[in-house]
Structure 1
Amino acid sequence: MILNPKFPLYLPGVKNGSNDNVSIIGANLREDITTLGYFVSSNGGLEIKIQNNYPTKDYTSFTEILKKFVQDNQLENTKRLGIAVPGPVLDGKSSPARLGWNLDIEELKKDFDFERIDMLNDQEASAYGMALLEDSDLDPIYTSGHLEKGNVAILAPGNGLGEAGYFFDGKYLRPFATEGGHSEFSPRTNVEVEFYQFLNNLYGIVSWENVLSKGGLFNIYRFLRDVKRHPEPEWLSDRLANGNFAEELYKAAVEEDVLICKIALDTFLEFLAREANNLALKLKATGGLLISGDIPQAIREYINKDKFYEKYKISDKMEEMLKSIPIYLIKQNYTALNGAALYSAYIQE
C-alpha cells in the first residue's frame, strides 16, 4: 500500500530511512470485532503480511487478544504497535464505553517489548488510513473531478457515529479526531419532532449517534413501526431479531420491497445528508467530504446520489460553499487498521 497523492498527509518520518523495513502491529478495536494486522514499512508505505479478526466480547482485555495474535503468528521482535480505539485518547489512556476496557500505553509497555506504542481515536486513525486508498476505493457522490485544497470532513456511521477531519496547513493534511457524534440532534419537521420525543423518552439527551449508527437505524425503524404504525411482516420480525439488523433491513427493502424498510433507509440517508452538511460547515471542509463506516458501505447500492446531494446542500446562507465541496463514499473497510500502523511507521522523524 502506497500513499495516494490526493491525500498529502503530514508524515515527517517518511523522509527518515530508519523508518523503512520496520515491523509494526496495527490494531482496530471495535465493539463486535477487533482486527489486528502485522505490517512492514517500506518506501513511505506499508505492506501487510498477516491480518486476523477476533470476536471482541470473547476476551476480557486487549492485552489478551494481542498476546494471542503474537503467539498464533509466532511474531518476534516486532518494533511498534499502533492502536485505534472507538473513543477519546487522553494522556495515553482510553476507556471506550462500548468496549468496557481500560487501555493505557504505559501498562502495555510493561507487558510487551515494543520500542514504541501509539494509541489514537479510531476516526483519526481512519483518516490516516484513507491516505493509502486507491482511487477505485473512492465512489463519487458529487464531485468536480478532484479534491480541492482545504480542510476535509469525515463522517462514519457504524457501531457509533465517527466524525473526524483533516486540517489543511497550506501544504499538508493533518488528521484530527472529534467527538461530534455526541452533539445533540435537532429535528426539523413535525414528524421529526415526534421522533425526537420518542428518543428523548429513551435517552434523555438525544445525540446524533442515537440517529446515525447501527443503533440509530434501529431507532428509526422502531419509531416507524411502534409510533407511526407502519406494518411489519411477521417473517421480517424474525429475520431482524436473529440476523445482522442493517443487512437484513437492506435486503428486505431491496429484494422484498418492504415499505417500512425503504422508509427507514430513506430517513437514515436524509439524516446522514443533514449531518454531512453540519460537519462540512463546522470544519469549512472546502477540500471535501468523505463518508465512511459500515452502514453507508452496506447500503451503498441503495443510495440515490442526486437525492442525497439535494438534501445535503440545503442551507440558510451557505449553499454556494456546500455546492463546491466534493463528496466521496469510501468503499474500503480497513482504513482505521491501516491508519494506526501508518501513524506508528511515519508520524515521527
Structure 2
Amino acid sequence: MNSESGYRLYLPGIGSERNKNIAIVAADVREDHTVFGYFKSANGTVDLVEECTYSTKSFSSFSEMAGKFIQEYRLNDIERLAVAVPGPVINAKSAPARLPWDLNAEEIKNTLQLKKVHLLNDLEGFAYGLACISDEALIPIYKSENQPKGNVAILAPGNGLGESGLFYDGEYLRPFASEGGHSEFSPRTNTEVEFYQFLNNLYGIVSWESVLSKKGLFNIYRFLRDVKRHPEPEWLGARLSGGDFMTELFKAAVEDDVQICKISMNTFLEFLAREANNLALKLKATGGLLITGEIPMALKDYMDKDKFYQKFKISDKMENLLKEIPLYLAVDEKAGLKGVAIYAAYCEL
C-alpha cells in the first residue's frame, strides 16, 4: 500500500478476499483518554464509520471500556479488534506503567466474544498509519532534493517518549516497536551535567523520557527555576499550578514573552533534535525521521525548523549521513488509530 507521501508498507493480506469489507474496532489507549473507532476495510484502506472518546481511568478494564463502545453503537458485526497501547507488548500481553490495568489479548477476545484481537505498541501502530497518511499531515523540517530509500524512524514525545521504526527490505517498509525512550540520557555541556545531577537526585536512572515528555518539559522548567534561578513571575506560578502545564507554559512564552518559558521550550527542542539524531543513527534511518506526539504538535509553529535541522545533523563522524535524512513533523492525530485498523485488516493473509 502506498500513502500519498510514498510510504509503501508490507501488508501481505491486502489482496486477500477474506480481508474485504470486514468490520474492525480500533482503540488508541492513552493515560488520560482512549479513542475508539469503528472501521470497514475497503479498497486497500480502512474507512472510519464511528468514533468515540472515553476517560481511560473511568473503567476497571479495557474490556469494560471496549464493551461500552460496542454496546453504545450497537456493533454486532465486528470481526477483529486492534489496540494501540503505550508500552511494550510481549506474547499478546501488555502492562503499561501509565495505565490503571493490564491488557491480555486472549482475555479481551473471550470477554467480548470476538474472533481476533491484536495488541500493538502505540508507536508501532502509528508506523502502520503511514500507509494512509497524507502529504498535508507531514510538515517538512528538512526535505532532501531526492527522496532517499531506507529505514524510517519515528519519535513521539507526549505523556511518555515513544519510539519506533520501519525496516526497509528493499521493496517494502516493515514497522517494529522500540522502547528506546527508556535508554539513558547523557549530558554534553556543563549546564547539562548539572541538569543530569538534578534528575539523578530525583529518579536515580535518568532516561530520555525524563527529558522528552510532558514530565520532561516540567523537569527542564523547574531545573531552570530552582537550580539556575531564572525568575518566575508570581502570576505565572499560580497559572502553571492551576492549569495544564504545557498549555500555560506555551502561552506564557509566546504571548507574554516570559524568558524562563522560552528557554524551557528552546531547551526541549534542542534535546529533541539530539535524540532524533541518536535514533536516526541507531536505525540508520536514511528513509526519513518523523516527529509526532502532543508536544511537537503544540510547538510546530514555534519551532525554528532550520535551527532544529542544524542541531540534528551534528555528529563526530556521521554528518554526511545525517544531513541528507528527510525530517518531518507528522500532525495526523488519528494516524495511530488508523494504523492499528490497517494492521488488523491487512496483516493477515
The TM-score by the shorter chain falls in which range?
over 0.9
Write out per-residue CA displacement over residues 260-316 of structure 1, whole angstroms, 9 at most, x where no aligned residue: 000000000000000000000000000001001110001110000011011111100
For 1:2 and 1:133, the matched residues in 2 are separated by 9
Pair 87,54 (structure 1): closer, same or farther in 2 beyond 3 Å: same
1:123 is aligned to: 123
What SS does structure 1 have at the residue aligned with 2:295? helix
Code of the residue aligned with 1:20 in structure 2: it is K
For 2:45 and 2:62, the matched residues in 1 are separated by 26
1:186 is aligned to: 186
What SS does structure 2 have at the residue aligned with 1:13? coil
For 2:334 and 2:255, the matched residues in 1 are separated by 28
2:200 is aligned to: 200
- Between stretches 277-286 and 11-20, larger displacement belongs to 11-20
What SS does structure 2 have at the residue aligned with 1:185? coil
Query: CA contact under 8 A between 1:94 and 1:102: conserved in structure 2?
Result: yes
Query: CA contact under 8 A between 2:2 and 2:9: conserved in structure 1?
Result: no
1:84 is aligned to: 84
Alignment of 1:35-54 (within 5 A): 35-54=35-54
For 1:238 and 1:126, the matched residues in 2 are separated by 36
TM-score scaled to structure 2, two decimals?
0.98
Alignment of 1:160-309 (within 5 A): 160-309=160-309
For 2:85 and 2:269, the matched residues in 1 are separated by 26
1:34 is aligned to: 34
For 1:337 and 1:326, the matched residues in 2 are separated by 24
Tell me if 1:16 matches 2:16: yes
What SS does structure 2 have at the residue aligned with 1:65? helix
For 1:36 and 1:260, the matched residues in 2 are separated by 38
Please report how far the alpha carbon of residue 146 of structure 1 lies from its aligned counterpart in structure 2 after TM superposition. Answer: 5.6
Runs of 4+ in 1 over 3 A off after TM superposition: 1-5
Query: CA contact under 8 A between 1:61 and 1:101: conserved in structure 2?
Result: yes
For 2:146 and 2:58, the matched residues in 1 are separated by 43
Query: Percent sequence identity over matched residues?
Result: 62
What SS does structure 2 have at the residue aligned with 1:290? strand
Please report how far the alpha carbon of residue 77 of structure 1 lies from its aligned counterpart in structure 2 after TM superposition. Answer: 2.2
Please report how far the alpha carbon of residue 165 of structure 1 lies from its aligned counterpart in structure 2 after TM superposition. Answer: 0.4
What SS does structure 2 have at the residue aligned with 1:15? coil
What SS does structure 1 have at the residue aligned with 2:256? coil
For 2:36 and 2:118, the matched residues in 1 are separated by 14
Please report how far the alpha carbon of residue 5 of structure 1 lies from its aligned counterpart in structure 2 after TM superposition. Answer: 5.7
What SS does structure 1 have at the residue aligned with 2:141? strand
Please report how far the alpha carbon of residue 145 of structure 1 lies from its aligned counterpart in structure 2 after TM superposition. Answer: 4.5
- Between stretches 265-274 and 114-123, larger displacement belongs to 114-123
1:330 is aligned to: 330
Write out per-residue CA displacement over residues 55-75 of structure 1, whole angstroms, 9 at most, x where no aligned residue: 111222111111111111111
Please report how far the alpha carbon of residue 130 of structure 1 lies from its aligned counterpart in structure 2 after TM superposition. Answer: 2.1
Pair 145,330 (structure 1): closer, same or farther in 2 beyond 3 Å: farther
- Between stretches 216-225 and 143-152, larger displacement belongs to 143-152
TM-score scaled to structure 1, two decimals?
0.98
Please report how far the alpha carbon of residue 3 of structure 1 lies from its aligned counterpart in structure 2 after TM superposition. Answer: 3.6
Please report how far the alpha carbon of residue 100 of structure 1 lies from its aligned counterpart in structure 2 after TM superposition. Answer: 2.7
- Between stretches 238-247 and 209-218, larger displacement belongs to 238-247
Q: List runs of 5+ in structure 1 lacking aligned partners.
A: none
Query: CA contact under 8 A between 1:165 and 1:283: conserved in structure 2?
Result: yes
